[in-house]
Structure 1
């Protein structure tokens, strides 16, 4: 059994400082997306109450179970209170300005260097007090150290909802995400690409010996995969590709003929109105 402090001490973690351990899990917020876009640290430093009354915090992202994934150690500097009437400087593109209404506290948090190789890899058991998201530091059991480049667990075909940034990360580190590679390359099928902000969607299909995996690798490289309308959006609308999300509508056997797969794709396009209201040109 490995303890969290065993990993942190070797990288300079100071137990002499007053420390809190925090687990960010908010049903209103996609924490992974905040991390991808560089907005997580702003989210963390703006709190409705004075919770970081300490010298440093060890920060984690929670999941729906008791697990939490390490995302850094932060030194807590100054802080200031914000009133409901005080305008707050919000970073461009920050997706949740509505969370900043009302009074609160803004902290001066500085990320402590030396722990980068553990970020997004060390998984701890948070314990039974799952609702207490900010606690005074006590040691936790490390239940897993994920391989470098790991993105997320395979959720099952029906539950796939994969932002383009995560797809690119999976393609860049296939050995660390081998279950994704195995599952996506073992089936043909019909997929959907949704623009999370506008609701525009594209319905496509994948066949051949590499199945969905082979087709989605092209999107990881180009974002648009050569699709005419999707390409136009990506080339003409700044940041458009940042909000593309991939899902699977129908799974077909890897040996299905191209005609069978195209027929299933056509059926889905008609059901979803992807030609009239989406990004499908044919």
Structure 2
């Protein structure tokens, strides 16, 4: 469906699904936090409980409005003036939670690592029970609407706005094809959130990787071979922060950026892998005191 010729809008779709647009609040999530914004589509696609936690708590003004809604139509900021559909939830109720309890939710702990601030001034706030429905579920990640009016107005009532359908794609836009390995960079906080298709590729790749510590402005060169491959090795960093490397211990992994220097043949002998790794350490001067390699 071409947005230039489309004559239907979101309210038409809601009505056809048997929903009254006057009962539906529409949100277009585009977090201010850079790290969280980067992974929001991944969360929506494959870590929905974390995504849903993000939209279950709001400022006082929004929580007052959402408490009057029966449904929440959830979108992600796709590009300027566009929003991609994630799902339609029933607003089943809410409870008041303290700041301490808010951060005790495991999903919120994950979001905190990605930079989410939580309730302002650590106030008691509403925690909404948002139950996913099957309404329009076939169009998750595929339906794109025009986000008309003021873009920073990220929530609004469906019945009071006209949000034209721009396109309905064949494939989901939430998880894009994995970029070429030579252009990949990952923040440490992203390692546990990588889409399944990306994880599958990394699980098959052996190679030499690089970790840049933004805090110290020093780098570390490592290798992944054998059963671990890149995914297994990086999962170790995701779990421990330092991957067992002495000069990385005690450093804040939030400043680590991961990339691939060279992919290697899956049947390369271990001693040859070590030799290639050593070559990269020499070229990048990553051995101490100029880098974070201690050998």
**What residue number does 1:58 align with?**
73
Q: Normalized against structure 2, the TM-score is what?
A: 0.57
Q: What is the DSSP-based 3-state SS (H/G/I as helix, E as strand, rest coil) of the residue aligned with 1:99?
A: coil
Deviation, 1:66, is 3.5
**What residue number does 1:99 align with?**
118
- Relative to its length, the structure with more helix (as a share) is 2
Matches within 5 A, 1:151-230: 151=176, 154=179, 157-158=182-183, 160-161=185-186, 163-167=190-194, 169-171=196-198, 191-193=209-211, 202-204=220-222, 218-221=229-232, 223-224=235-236
C-alpha separation between the residues in 2 aligned to 1:38 and 1:242?
Answer: 23
Deviation, 1:196, is 10
What's the Cα RMSD here? 5.3
Relative to structure 1, is the Cα distance of residues 112 and 42 closer, same or farther in structure 2, using a 3 angstrom cutoff?
A: closer
Query: Could you say which structure has the greater relative contact order, defined with CA pairs below 8 angstroms and 6 or more residues apart?
Result: 2
Matches within 5 A, 1:10-89: 12=17, 14-15=19-20, 18-28=23-33, 30-31=36-37, 32=39, 35=43, 36=47, 38-51=49-62, 52=66, 53-63=68-78, 65-79=80-94, 87-89=99-101
Alignment pair present for 1:264 and 2:280: yes
Which 5+ residue runs of structure 2 have no aligned equivalent?
A: 3-7, 266-271
Which 5+ residue runs of structure 1 have no aligned equivalent?
A: 175-179, 207-213
Alignment pair present for 1:134 and 2:155: yes
C-alpha separation between the residues in 2 aligned to 1:69 and 1:99?
Answer: 24
Q: Are 1:19 and 1:57, in contact at CA under 8 Å, matched by a contact in 2?
A: yes
C-alpha separation between the residues in 1 aligned to 2:219 and 2:282?
Answer: 14
Q: What is the DSSP-based 3-state SS (H/G/I as helix, E as strand, rest coil) of the residue aligned with 1:46?
A: coil
Q: Are 1:195 and 1:245, in contact at CA under 8 Å, matched by a contact in 2?
A: yes
Q: How many corresponding residue pairs?
A: 248
For residues 154-210 of structure 1, the C-alpha deviation after alignment (integer angstroms, 9 at most, x for no partner) is: 389556326334546224666xxxxx9xxx99xx9853246999x99742368xxxx
C-alpha separation between the residues in 1 aligned to 2:129 and 2:118?
Answer: 19
Q: Normalized against structure 1, the TM-score is what?
A: 0.59
**What residue number does 2:258 align with?**
246
Q: Are 1:122 and 1:144, in contact at CA under 8 Å, matched by a contact in 2?
A: yes
